[in-house]
Amino acid sequence: MSNLILSVAFMAFSVNTGASSDDIVISSIDLWIQGMNSSEQSTAFTNITCSDGVSGLGQLGPYWHFKNDILAIWQIFKDEVIPGVLNYSCTTHPKNVMNTVIISAYKNTGQMQSRALAGLSFAIYEIHAKRASMSVADYLGGDTSVPVPIYGSSVTRKKTAEQIGSEFVSLHKQWGITAFKLKVAQRMGNNTDVWPNRSQEVVETVRQMVGDNITLMADANGGWTDWATMQPVAQLMADNDYLWLEEPFPWWQYKQLVSVAQLDEWKAMGMELALGEQEYRMEDGWQTMIDAQFVRVIQPDVCYGGGFWNLLQVAQWSLDQQSSFPSVVIPHSPSTSDYRTIYALHFYALKHGPYPNIGQWMEFGCDGGIPTKASHFVFDPPLKFTDSGEIVINQGIGWGYTLKPSNAISHFYHAQI
C-alpha cells in the first residue's frame, strides 16, 4: 500500500471518531504471560485500551525453546514499551506509536525489543480497525473473504526422509496441500549435518515419494559457511526441482549471500534464495537487502521483525522494486495455534489489494498434522480449513478472533494514566 493510501486511511479514523487525535490517548495497558508454569507454550499478550474505550489485543513475539525468553520480552515491554506509549495518541499512525519507543529506548535495540514491539503493533492495528468496524486486513484495503493457500512446513530435523515423505503425501491426499518445506543441514551447524548425508537423503527421497506435481522447498537455517559445502546439496535440490533454498549461511552474512547469488553456477541451478526470518533492522537491514536485488523470496517473521507495520513496510519496499527486480514476500509463520497465524492470514489478505507481491502460499507448520479441534487453538473460533489446502479467514471486527480464557496466567501487570 502506498504511503498516501495509509495516510488517508488513518486520517479517516481521526475524522470518524468525532474527536481530535489529541483527545484520544492510550489510557491503560495490561500485560501478562500465559502458560509459564504449565504444559502450554509460554506466550505473552498485551491489551491496550484508549480513552474512547476502544481496545486491541497483541501477542508479543515468542521463542518457545526457552521460557526465560518470554520473561525477558515481558520485561522489555513493561520497562520500555509501556512508559513510552502510555498517554500517547491513540489515533496516530501505528508507526509513530512504535517509533516513540524505539527513540526513547535507543540504547536497547535488537530482536528482543522487536518481539516486544510486535505486541504493541498488533494491538494498535486492531484498535484502528475496530473504530472503523472492520477487520484489520479489510481496513487496509485487503480482502478477507478470499481463502489463503498454505504450504506445509516441517520444522524438525529428527525425522527420517521416509517419515517426512509419508507425512507430506498424507497431507496432500487429505487436505489438498500442494507445497511443502523441509529442513536440510544442521541448524547453524558450521558445515555439519544431523547425521551423515541426511540432507541428501531427504532432498531426493521426499521428491521421489511426493512426485513431480508437488512444490518443494528447503531451509538450511544457516547450516553452511561457504559455497563449496553448500553446493552439492544445492545441486541435488536443483536436480530434484526444488523452488527455493532458505538461509544457507548465517542470516547476517549478506555479502557472502550476494556472492553466491552472483555465481553463474548458482544461476544455472534455477532456484531462488529465500532470506529474512531473523532480520529485525528496517532501513539498515530490510531496505538494504531489498535494494541490493539478490533475493526474490523475502521472509520477514510475523513477530521477530517488530509486528504488522514492519511487515507492511517490507512489502512496500519489495513492491517498489517490482519493475526492476520482481520478488515475493512470504513471511516466516510456521505457527499453527496462536495469534501469529491470525496475523499472517490478515497479511495474506492484502495480496488481494495493495500488495500483489505477497506470495502464493502462507507458511503453516505441519509436523503435527492439521489441527482440527477447538482445544488446539488459543483463540475462538478455531481455524477453518478447506480440502484445497486453504484457510478461511473468520469474518469479524479487528483480528476477528477472541483469546480464550486460560488457567495458566502469570506476571499480570496493569498500568494506566
Same domain membership, residue 412 and residue 364: no
Same domain membership, residue 217 and residue 145: yes
Write the DSSP assignment of 240-260 as a string of letters.
Answer: TTEEEEE--S-TT-HHHHHHH
Q: How far is CA 43 from CA 63, 285, 306, in A?
A: 9, 27, 16
Count of domains forming the chain: 2
Same domain membership, residue 163 and residue 57: no
Same domain membership, residue 173 and residue 127: no
User: What average pLDDT does this structure show over 244-260?
Assistant: 96
Q: Is the peptide bond before 248 cis (omega within 30 degrees of 0)?
A: no
Angle between helices 94-104 and 308-320 (to 10 degrees): 110
Same domain membership, residue 47 and residue 23: yes
Q: What is the pLDDT of residue 62?
A: 86
CATH number reported for the structural domain that contains residue 193 in this entry: 3.20.20.120
Q: What is the pLDDT of residue 194?
A: 97
Same domain membership, residue 286 and residue 144: yes
DSSP state of 215: E
Same domain membership, residue 163 and residue 68: no
Same domain membership, residue 191 and residue 330: yes
Same domain membership, residue 211 and residue 99: no
Q: How confident is the model at residue 73 (pLDDT cuts 50, 70, 90)?
A: very high
* Cβ atoms of residues 84 and 104 within 8 Å: yes
CATH number reported for the structural domain that contains residue 67 in this entry: 3.30.390.10
The residue segments making up the domain with residue 96 are 3-134+404-416
Same domain membership, residue 270 and residue 147: yes
CB atoms < 10 A from the CB of 395, how many? 10
pLDDT surpassing 50 at residue 11: no
pLDDT above 70 coverage of the chain, percent: 93
User: What average pLDDT does this structure show over 315-328?
Assistant: 97
Same domain membership, residue 275 and residue 150: yes
Q: What phi and psi values does residue 143 have, to the nearest 5 degrees?
A: -140, 100
pLDDT above 90 coverage of the chain, percent: 89
Same domain membership, residue 165 and residue 104: no
